[in-house]
Amino acid sequence: HTSHGSVKLVWQRSRLFDKEATTTFFKLIETDVGLRCEDVVVTPAKRVRPNPMNTVELLKSASKVLGIGPHETMRAAEQLYLSGCVSYPRTESTAYPTSFDVMATVAVHRGSPLAGVASYVTELLRDGYVKPRAGHDAGDHPPITPVAMARDLQAGSVGFRIYDLIVRHFLASVSPDAQFENSKIHFVSEPSMERFYVSSTREIDPGFLKIFLNYTPPGSSGNWHGNGDDESSDGKEENFTEVHGVPEFEKGQVYRMTNLRVKQGQTTAPGYLTESELISKMEKFGIGTDASIPTR
């Protein structure tokens, strides 16, 4: 407990499966005089922009973000292709050809009716795009790209939502990485010397996430759409507990404990695979192709 309020800490031992041992530790910590801040570790981190979109990524994103199944997604994407709005939607490649004109394709959406897209494109054209990630060239067709502005789609229709998804993914793929700052504060109880910690995330620059669907900044409810990679400054993935609004702690300072409790729980079996996860597994183990996955 600090002058700024209370913070829920995580016990370093995580879980114990022995009730007697747990009770012993609980009674030991109950007699402690406080928690000393042992260390404050601040690490820059980033969420990397997505690769250009291939068919499997389209199917996964449509299912996960929009709740639209593979068969319906491909039917809508093919209609968008026939209408001249997007490139050929059946492709395994996630690498643009060297001749691809990124700036011209971005400029196509300067007057887009999609929410927030026109202003984002104006910023991207002003500040300059970021070179797309290398991706994988499967030697078939280029990644799925919005090549024209779709004006006649009915708002809320499947075609409109799939087109919106493709546009935002394309813009995200040529946008800056998102920058964050992870903090992990370590505590030790005195005199029992049991260790606790709390971790938090602070947004520095949302980068490409500003244009993604369903994105809300840290501290708000919502999800990040897409499969961007989370990387720390040394390239290793960080797995921080999403705790926000954590007050500043001073190394060496002792803080008061205000609430201790033992929670009983039980292990549970893993849940069922989502449709998006199933598609990922099919891709990983070579089950089906970009053409056959929607029909399986």
Positions annotated as catalytic residues are: 88
What's the gap between Cα 123 and its chain centre? 22
What would the two tokens of residue 139 be?
Answer: 């030697």
